[in-house]
Structure 1
Amino acid sequence: MTTHTFDEQYWERHWGAGAASSMGTAPPNPYLVIELSDLSPGTALDAGCGAGAEAIWLAERGWQVTAADIATEALARAAARASAAGVDGRVDWVQADLSTWEPAGSFDLVMTHYAHPAIPQLEFYDRIAAWVAPGGTLLIVGHLGGHGNGHGHGHGHDGEKPPPEATVTAASITARLDPAAWEIVTAVETERTVPRPDGSTKRLADVVIRARRR
């Protein structure tokens, strides 16, 4: 059984591999569009931004975005996309290990899409939740435990099942959000079908959590 260590070397290898080439042009995650289109622009953190599709989507809608990722190759691709989209002035690209990095302040929105740091997955969500300002929004999109075969987007494990240590359930996340501090807006486990570069399709099993800090 393969053991995954989601450190800087892992992600640099991942983004340098040919299998990651299509990720630099992937559209923003559909759950981002569904969950956040009703929010007024403010400050946002994209925790584990990959090739930047989600950060750019926010910037195009007036958000000022801090987009952090451990892989310099991913950030280079993201910055090039932002420049081509004309929003490079609205995104600050930060090379950071999110298992230890601390932002200078809080954000109106903190989001993460399939990011896997070198710490337990739920502890990572605890860390980023602490960076949401009062009245702000937390959006988590992750792999559903025991399902799926890779998501082919962002930090995907294209063509392979996500390792168990990178999977979660809706209940495991919401149980860590104190009801006195958080209002759960969305907590779903869902599936969707996405195309592969070779023309075939694959089914993805996802967890989507949106919460508002009181």
Structure 2
Amino acid sequence: MSETVDFWEQHYGAKDRVWSGRVNARLAEIVEPLAPGRALDLGCGEGADAIWLARRGWQVVGVDVSPTALRRATEDAAAAGVGQRIRFEQHDLAETFPQGEFDLVSAQFFHSPLDVDRTAALRRAADAVAQGGLLLIVDHGSAPPWGWKDGHEHHLPSAQDVVDGLAPEPGRWERLRVEAVEREATGPEGQVATISDNVILLRRLG
């Protein structure tokens, strides 16, 4: 078992459920008015976003490194009646990446306390966007007080830092949103704090 798999298996194995089961707010806000197509959900965790998309008619590939998270996601998708619209795949995105092109590629809070090449994975995500499709990256712009407490300081890139790292080819991408947006967040013990999200929304042109 790789270090990445081991870390995330311990993370998901520590609780019966890690996430709320609710769709990420920025994803819902941006995708709600869109016509459904093919979607790729990177770091899908326990599958809430993938299930939300499938309920709205999207065909979804959900990717995570943790077998435990993917098992829970598969069970929840079946219980929601959308299992046939979602294919869950295990990938360590530093090593392998799902095949195909997608009308929507979503990376919601694709952070890790491990030393991984996040920029390389996001560039591969951009390469997977079909002509006319969208790349949506939502990052932590500020850390909540209940975030990772592993003794290390983790750099949180700005929205512009993320775009700079992607190095989108001029004339091939349209910047729809590159900004920081504040929201109220609730922690695992019910704590409440105002934090910011970086929202990066790019459209692949012809």
* 1:79-138 Cα shifts (integer Å, max 9, x gaps): 121112110110001011111213322111111111236632222211111110111110
* 1:10-50 Cα shifts (integer Å, max 9, x gaps): 111111113x7341x33111000111112111111101100
Q: Which amino acid aligns with 1:21?
A: R
**Which one of the candidate residues 55, 65, 71 is aligned to 2:60?**
65
Within 5 Å, give how 1:175-214 maps onto structure 2.
175=164, 176-214=167-205
Q: State how far apart, in whole Å, the 2-side matches of 1:179 and 1:198 are.
A: 45
1:169 corresponds in structure 2 to 158
Within 5 Å, give how 1:145-164 maps onto structure 2.
147-149=142-144, 157=147, 163-164=153-154
Which SS does the other structure have where 1:21 is aligned?
coil
Q: What is the TM-score normalised by the length of structure 2?
A: 0.87
Report the more deviating stretch, 188-197 or 88-97.
188-197
Q: What is the TM-score normalised by the length of structure 1?
A: 0.84
Q: Percent identity?
A: 37
| Runs (5+) with no aligned partner, structure 2 | none
Contact 1:190–1:205 under 8 Å retained in 2: yes
- The change in CA–CA distance for 1:29 and 1:162 in structure 2 (over 3 A counts) is farther
**In the alignment, does 2:17 pair up with 1:21?**
yes
Which SS does the other structure have where 2:41 is aligned?
strand
Q: Number of matched residues?
A: 200
Q: Which amino acid aligns with 1:209?
A: I
Contact 1:69–1:97 under 8 Å retained in 2: yes
Contact 2:37–2:57 under 8 Å retained in 1: yes
Q: State how far apart, in whole Å, the 2-side matches of 1:124 and 1:72 are.
A: 19
Contact 1:150–1:159 under 8 Å retained in 2: no
Q: Which amino acid aligns with 2:182?
A: E
Q: State how far apart, in whole Å, the 1-side matches of 2:58 and 2:149 are.
A: 33
Which SS does the other structure have where 1:105 is aligned?
coil
RMSD over equivalenced CA pairs, Å: 2.4
1:93 corresponds in structure 2 to 88
1:126 corresponds in structure 2 to 123
Contact 2:12–2:18 under 8 Å retained in 1: no
- The change in CA–CA distance for 1:33 and 1:201 in structure 2 (over 3 A counts) is same
Contact 1:193–1:201 under 8 Å retained in 2: yes
- How far 1:160 sits from its partner (Å)? 7.8
Q: State how far apart, in whole Å, the 2-side matches of 1:199 and 1:105 are.
A: 40
